[in-house]
Amino acid sequence: MVSYKELGLVNTREMFAKAIKGGYAIPAFNFNNMEQLQAIIKAASEEKSPVILQVSKGARNYANATLLRYMAQGAVAYAKELGWEHPQIVLHLDHGDSFELCKSCIDSGFSSVMIDGSHLPYEENVALTKKVVDYAHQFDVTVEGELGVLAGVEDEVSSDHHTYTDPEEVIDFATRTGCDSLAISIGTSHGAYKFTPEQCTRNAEGRLVPPPLAFEVLDAVMEKLPGFPIVLHGSSSVPQEYVDIINKYGGKLPDAIGIPEEELRKAAKSAVCKINIDSDSRLAMTAAVREVFATKPGEFDPRKYLGPARDEMEKLYKHKIVNVLGSNGKAE
Ligand SMILES: O=C(CO)COP(=O)(O)O
Ligand SMILES: O=C[C@H](O)COP(=O)(O)O
Ligand SMILES: [Zn+2]
Ligand SMILES: [Zn+2]
């Protein structure tokens, strides 16, 4: 058993309280490799932004759970080397699907976990989330629960079907589980295809324009739970520059579309205090790698294509921090 406190990590409690008061949101960036982690830490250090390092079950399986957590723990030392005196870094389990997985992360130094029981019947979601909270809180680890189902990978019924969070359930859920934050469904979804072309309109250039998020659901949740930390998953904006580069250099991402940054900016000013971004980083990395492969076919040193990918991700993370979430300078 190793406590995150010995590792210089922090939980989300104070971070979220400040973000809600200050009208900004904390970035939660997924990582599963060294270059992503370096780019996240460099961006957060240089912008003095609190940051949530997010690890999925898939990432643990890909990179090896032990190696991954040592990498994240090393991130605190790296941030200090970069001149960030008091790094505010959370190590968070993304989409935990069982008590055992959450416990294993808590026991190995995670400062925060998500237990995602959103696909379960309501009472089972409450019971599972409460079980994780009861364990986590003994060690001052914070817990994110989820109510409502995002379209796409979270929804087995169909890719364009959301079950928005029912605002009538949130008080009961938060009170009975004791969770520290709540992920809700208001129309975002995971991946690079957040809306089908049929759900969108087209602008003059023929680009897809997505339908708006259900801000009325967010407003109703905030009215029921004033000041309670809300989380948005599936919040990549799928930058069209990256999609174009990928498609130009042999990729195939037709009609990829995300959440407009304008909507995320608006959400960040509300009780939404954690915004999850993974796909945008994948797109930045893929665009940069494809461009090197296409324009410098003689390169075979991975540093020559992963290096530019890392630079592009760092640029992306800084852009999110400074221009979308407004978390820069909040961890001086
Ligand atoms: O919600 C996410 C991770 O939990 C990531 O969402 P995106 O696929 O929109 O980046
Ligand atoms: O919510 C999903 C995250 O983007 C992580 O995805 P993953 O399960 O492919 O690692
Ligand atoms: Zn979920
Ligand atoms: Zn998610």
Residue 206 pLDDT: 86
Residue 195: predicted pLDDT:
94
One-letter amino acid of 327: S
233 is in an annotated binding site: yes
Predicted local distance difference test score (pLDDT) of residue 73: 86
Ligand nearest to the CA of 189: 1
pLDDT at 233: 98
How many of the other CB atoms lie within 10 Å of CB of 5? 14
CA dist., res. 66 & res. 74, Å (int) = 12
Q: What pLDDT is recorded for position 151?
A: 79
User: Helix/strand/coil (H, E, C) string of 137-189?
Assistant: HCCCCEEEEEECECEHHHCCCCCCCCECCCHHHHHHHHHHHCCCEEEECCCCE
| Under 8 Å between Cβ of 244 and 288 | no
Q: Is there a binding annotation on residue 190?
A: yes
Residues 6+ apart with CB under 8 A from 296: 304
pLDDT lower than 70: segments of the chain: 153-161
Is position 137 annotated in a ligand binding site?
no
Closest alpha carbon to 89 in 44, 46, 122: 44
94 as an active site residue: the answer is yes
**Pairing, β 201-202 against β 208-209:** antiparallel
Tell me the CA–centroid distance for residue 134 and ligand 1, in Å.
27
Q: What is the predicted pLDDT for the residue at 283?
A: 99
Phi then psi for residue 54, to 5 deg, are: -110, 130
Distance CA 231, CA 184 (A): 6
- Ligand lying closest to the C-alpha of residue 277: 1
Placement of tokens 């991130």 in the chain:
75
The DSSP line for 208-238 is EEPPPP-HHHHHHHHHHSTT--EEE-S----
CA dist 132 and 58 (Å) reads: 20
Question: What are the structure tokens assigned to 299, written together?
Answer: 């390169």
CA distance 20 to 175: 19
Q: Is 119 annotated as ligand-binding?
A: no
What residues does the ion ligand 4 have nearby, CB within 5 Å? 233
Q: What is the DSSP letter of 95?
A: E
Q: How far apart are CA 46 and CA 53, in angstroms?
A: 16
For residue 106, the CA-to-ligand 3 centroid distance in Å is: 20
pLDDT at 207: 86
Q: What is the CATH number of domain 4-325?
A: 3.20.20.70
The pick from 95, 119, 282 for probing ligand 2's pocket by mutation, whose C-beta has the most ligand atoms within 8 angstroms, reads: 95
In a mutational test of the pocket of ligand 1, which residue from 278, 281, 285, 286 has the highest number of ligand atoms less than 8 Å from its CB? 278
Rounded distance between C-alpha atoms, residue 205 and residue 240, angstroms: 13
Report pLDDT for 160.
55
